[in-house]
Amino acid sequence: MAGAARASSSLLDHATLVLLIALVAAHVPLPVRAQDTVTAGRPLSGDAKLVSRGGKFAMGFFQPDGGVSGRWYVGIWYNNIAVRTPVWVANRDRPVSDPAASRLAIAPDGNLALLDPSGSPVWSTNATGNASNATVAAVLLDTGNLVLAPASNASDVLWQSFDHIGDTWLPGGKLRRDKATGAIQGMTSWRARGDPAPGMYTLQLDPAGAPQYVLLWNGTRKYWLTGDWNGRFFTGAPEVAASGGDSGYSFRFVDNDRESYFTYSFADNSTVYRFVTDVSGQVKGWFWVEAFQRWNLVYAEPKARCAVPRGCGAFGVCSDAAAACACARGFTPRDAVSWSLGDTTGGCVRNTELQCGNNGSAAAAAAGSGTKVDRFFRMDGMRLPEDGRVTGAASSDECESACVGNCACSAYAYNGSCVLWNGELQNLEEGYGNQLAGAGSLYLRLAASEFPMARSHKRRTVEIAVGATAIVCFVLAASIIVVRTAMARRTKRIQGLTITTAEGRVTRFEYRDLQALTKNFSDKLGGGSFGSVFRGQLPNGGAAVAVKKLEGLRQGEKQFRAEVSTLGTIQHVNLIRLLGFCSEGGDRRLLVYEYMPNGSLDRQLFGATPPTLSWRARHHIAVGVAKGLAYLHDECRDRIIHCDVKPENILLDAGFAPKVADFGLAKLVGRDFSRVLTTMRGTVGYLAPEWIGGEAITAKADVFSYGMTLFEIVSGRRNVEHGKSEPDSSSSGAGDHAATATATTFFPLLAARRLVEAEGDVKALLDPELGGDANAEEVRRVCKVACWCIQDDVDARPTMAEVVKALEGLTDLEMPPVPRYLEVLAGRPMHQIQQTT
């Protein structure tokens, strides 16, 4: 098997954000207890720092990465990670010049204050009711919260940093509204990378009083909102949902007489997670993975980069298609370093200054004589800036002359009326069609030297017009063909539809037809990764169908239909068959599949009273799923990576034959990392390490997920439901030992250990419900395959075609190494595990 001898080198896993951290984070030993308190007689100065009791956070003087030399701030950061990451800054807009001569101390009035070298206060808690400086203390807690309270009663909080959040919202903090004062606690971005002064972007509760978050630019303009909290999730951001039980985290909204606020927390205190209003204008969720020594992004909104006002800065052009900013022609980033780090708000500057200002009023005369002092670059399909000035020019030529004659004019546009823009251009966005309001062609003023070989834009306009005419004619002809085809299809009403749809074709349904088939979507079969599924019945005694209402689609109509057409051509006995689709408007996208009477594999394995699947049935399911995935990876015209292999997406027909579902849907929905994390919440982690590490996703990611699924097929339980304590390997009795093992040990770890035992009883790994009734060699082979599939090293994993051969006994497998993440989980190296067993 390819790569079998390679050592495992990376990390697993994700079930929920908490389980991910628990499995992947190699915990760092806590430091010896250090000072965590500032008192009247013990200020903080110079290189000294506070360290919280558990060692998680530190506080002291620091200079931000990329900041201006000589500007020092007092802040809180993570103490145990390699990358210094400030989570709170006291003196955001008033740095001090010399930390050795500055002090963070308890002032005579009992407040915590930052004093500059002259002794003048730079920052203060400004708390009320403090008795004297001798009776209070400031303590840094292991939550990252700095608390000022009487030394004799720490619970009587006078002031806390959690009530004065900067750009970072930590677990346990509140973004709140004080109902007595009306004050709203927001989370405001830094001004720029390296500059913690308050920026232009703030996340806060809706000033109008609605139970939702809004992102504001300049404190006034709303550009993204979560939608109202409905008791379970935000209607516009369903991935931020309340959770409980064994999910490991909670997110809740509290509304009482004194205040209203949202807060979140993790059950595992070792979780290192932060929620930030970024300088880019997006809110982002990050967690730290120790094995990778970096922060990993799991959430970002708004996803449409161009929705952020002034996100690309002056003369920056935003493109949602590329999800990035670029400088307009003739411009380069003002700060290349910040730009490379994702902070594009500083915008762009000209490569060559305009000549108009050098010539003064001579520019107008030059324009009249035909000599171009400055020239104009045509930018088509642009969203035009909002702050333009309308003039009385009656033609495009007059509009151009008006701009040329004004040295402050940066650009013009003419679409029946002339609009001029002076100074910096903000909120430039490409990709708009001219038929949309506020869109059109923008003529950007550049120095003539930017056009050494360029023709005039007027000549280009004629050429473009001729080309556009030809394109329009072609599009009209193609449209006529498409319309006629669509009309013909619409005449085939649902009464004539049967399951004998021609191979490679899918039927287009009208939404009202699917409403009728599903009795207005009343018989819900379940909720999948990309939407809810309902049972339907074709008329005239026709077959049952499953109708999936897709959610979160980002594609246009044409692209959606193209993808559906591709999915309709995929035919394999172990892949669910797509029969039809519906696409009406932007929010009515549905897919019609063949109906699977025995539901999904997870219900058969994990249901409260499931019918027991025999080992023969389970082995048949494992082989069938492998064949279906092998077809997707190697035999389709366009390789399809599933991205979400798990028992919920394996359906069973009347004879319990498996069919893989939801393949290709990641492309339809516009799958991204945060969405996958969300859709896989609540079940065992199936994500391969490369998902977490931000590496390229290949078919080997499906192999990893399949391996995790194999373990569950063997044990009959969720991998995550097994504990972490090691079982007594001396137990006898297959059934008893299996029950003990499945109750106490993370199953992939148990299976890996059993495989390396000289006399390991692999049948003890079986679901106790099977009573040991299985072929021991098949069980061993399946566990070997599963262990190979979940190797950290992508190249060490087999292909799905190799998996099929191995499961069918056509190839003999070497003994797989224990993946490194399992060794980390066990807390011991492999040789110690072998000595124990």
Instruction: Give residues with Cβ within 8 angstroms of 369, minimum separation 6.
Output: none
CA distance 163 to 176: 8
β-bridge pairing 578-584 and 507-508? parallel
Quick one: pLDDT band at residue 675, thresholds 50, 70, 90?
A: very low
Does residue 156 have a pLDDT over 50? yes
Q: Using the 8-state DSSP alphabet, how is residue 39 labeled?
A: B
- The mean-pLDDT minimum among 564-578, 588-602, 737-751, 794-808 falls in 737-751
**What's the rounded mean pLDDT across residues 716-737?**
49
Q: Are 33 and 43 in contact (CB under 8 A)?
A: no
According to the model, what pLDDT value does residue 361 have?
45
HSE-CB at 166 with a 13 A cutoff on CA atoms is 25
771 token code pair: 């009573």
Q: Which CATH number is correct for 23-307, 2.90.10.10, 3.30.70.60, 3.40.1360.10, 3.40.50.620?
A: 2.90.10.10
Tokens 């005449």 sit on residue: 491
Most trustworthy range by pLDDT among 122-131, 333-342, 807-816: 807-816
- Residue 617: predicted pLDDT: 93
Inter-residue long-range contacts of 54-61, CB under 8 Å, 24+ positions, other chains counted: 54/30, 54/142, 54/269, 55/30, 55/31, 55/79, 55/80, 55/142, 56/80, 56/142, 56/144, 57/87, 57/140, 57/141, 57/142, 57/143, 57/144, 58/140, 59/140, 59/146, 61/96, 61/99, 61/102
What are the angstrom distances between the C-alpha of 534 and each of 485, 607, 650? 29, 20, 16
CA distance 108 to 833: 60
Looking at residues 17-39, what average pLDDT do you find?
49
Residues known to be catalytic: 644
**pLDDT tens-place string over residues 527-552:** 765 778 999 988 776 789 999 988 76
| CATH superfamily name and code, 1-21+600-837 | Transferase(Phosphotransferase) domain 1 (1.10.510.10)
Q: Write a three-state SS string for 221-279.
A: EEEEECCCECCCEECCEEEEECCCCCCCEEEEEEECCCEEEEEEEECCCCCCEEEEECC
pLDDT for 676 equals: 43
Q: What angle do CA 169, 173, 174 make, to 5 degrees?
A: 95
Task: Please write the tens of the pLDDT for every residue from 352-390.
Answer: 998 875 544 444 444 444 445 789 999 988 888 878 899
The chain-wide mean pLDDT, for the chain, equals: 78
Tell me what the mean pLDDT of segment 133-152 comes to.
89
Number of Cβ within a 10 Å radius of residue 374: 25
- Across the beta sheet with 187-192, the strand order is 187-192, 195-205, 213-217, 221-225
- Reported as a single tens digit per residue, the pLDDT across 168-206 is 999 999 999 998 888 999 999 999 989 999 999 999 999
Closest CA to 465 of 371, 375, 378: 378
- 598 near 775, Cβ under 8 Å? no
DSSP state of 647: G
16 pLDDT more than 70: no
**709: pLDDT strictly greater than 50:** yes
- Domains in the chain: boundaries: 1-21+600-837, 23-307, 308-447
Question: Over the stretch 476-521, which tens digit does the pLDDT of each residue have?
Answer: 666 555 545 544 444 344 455 444 444 557 888 888 889 889 988 8
pTM of the model: 0.54
pLDDT tens by residue, 95-108: 999 999 999 999 98
pLDDT recorded at residue 97: 94
pLDDT of residue 630: 93
List pLDDT tens digits, range 217-253. Answer: 999 899 999 888 887 777 777 666 665 444 456 778 8
Q: Which residue has the higher pLDDT, 690 or 601?
A: 601
The more confident residue out of 81 and 456 is 81
Band of residue 72 on the pLDDT scale cut at 50, 70, 90: very high
Please indicate whether residue 692 or residue 769 has the higher confidence score (pLDDT). 769
Q: What's the rounded Cα separation, in Å, for the pair 30 and 35?
A: 14
Residue 696 contacts by C-beta under 8 Å, 6 or more apart in sequence?
A: 690
Indicate the pLDDT class of residue 729, thresholds 50, 70 and 90: very low
Contacts of 149 (CB under 8 A, 6+ apart): 136, 137, 139, 155, 156, 157, 158
Residue 549 is assigned to a ligand binding site: yes
Mean pLDDT value of segment 596-602: 89
Has residue 397 got a pLDDT over 90?
A: yes
CB 601 within 8 A of CB 658: yes
